[in-house]
Chain A
């Protein structure tokens, strides 16, 4: 009984997290980064003030952890092309210049920190490998778009 009450509370926390926070974030990759940012680097424990205040510390922690794992699983299951689109959305949403972001991600590999703990080793390797490939594809697209002359439809916009 106690367990089912706890599970229901965790589920409510999870629904709340999905509805109020994650729904407002564009793309699963951005959601993954956000959820990883709620985890303490030293202890690996998730924390969210608002959720903890409403549903309790433990329920909030579990809701964040399960949402993180779910999001990671969805990203690993994506075809490479779809992951490139996810990365493109993330680059567009961030306020960084695409070249700078791609360079930083390739050099520093910050996406490694976004992986949930205790995940299947092959899934982790597939994710890392796909992100590496997606970055290369995006860089190639960037180069091609810089090399090709701007299209007629974009010229008035660029002139503004």
Chain B
């Protein structure tokens, strides 16, 4: 019985891991294609580029989405979703590429260094892996649920929590009254 329940969960976990691996490899493949573009005159671009966090705030802006929703146009909402989905995925891939580049440069510099701190290097590598995993997870979420995936999932979780709370209140009103009576006492 337990085995039958475990098998689908295992299959889902393996599928998710494979998908993450594929996304990870995909961002790596993108690195090679666009290295030339990244190495273009960086000085001016760097001086006027918005910091990654500010750029992310703009791309994933909740107020922009609310503004579009308020227009009441389904066509506009579809266009907004597809545009932001594309941009969000591009931002994540770019961030992953930038991190790859920084790590590559660090690796090259490390080869020449004589006093490497193994613990710091290990910590840095783990942080790099964590960031890559985050980027891959974000890509997956964006592809499956859209650009506002995390906010949407959080809000859905909140709604579900409230719903379960209401259901529990209805199922056991006596228990709820008891507990409120106890807390008042």
Contacts and interface: CB of A to CB of B under 8 A. Distances in A.
Interface stretch (B17-25, B58-66, B137-145): B58-66
A121 B37 contact: yes
Interface in A71-128: 72-73, 76-77, 79-81, 116-123, 125-126
Nearest to B55: A122
The 7 A-B residue pairs with the shortest CB-CB distance, nearest first, are A120-B49, A80-B64, A69-B48, A129-B83, A81-B67, A118-B41, A118-B44
A149 B90 CA distance: 43
Contacts of B79: 132-133, 136
Interface stretch (B7-15, B68-76, B105-113, B175-183): B68-76
Q: Identify the interface centre among B40, B44, B48, B55: most chain A CB within 10 Å of its CB.
A: B48
Interface residues of B, number: 31
A126 B73 contact: no
A126 B162 CA distance: 36
20 contacts: A69-B44, A72-B48, A73-B48, A76-B58, A77-B50, A79-B58, A80-B64, A81-B67, A119-B45, A120-B45, A121-B37, A121-B90, A129-B84, A129-B87, A132-B79, A133-B68, A133-B83, A136-B76, A140-B71, A140-B76
Interface in B156-174: none
A117 B67 CA distance: 30
B128 interface: no
B87 A79 contact: no
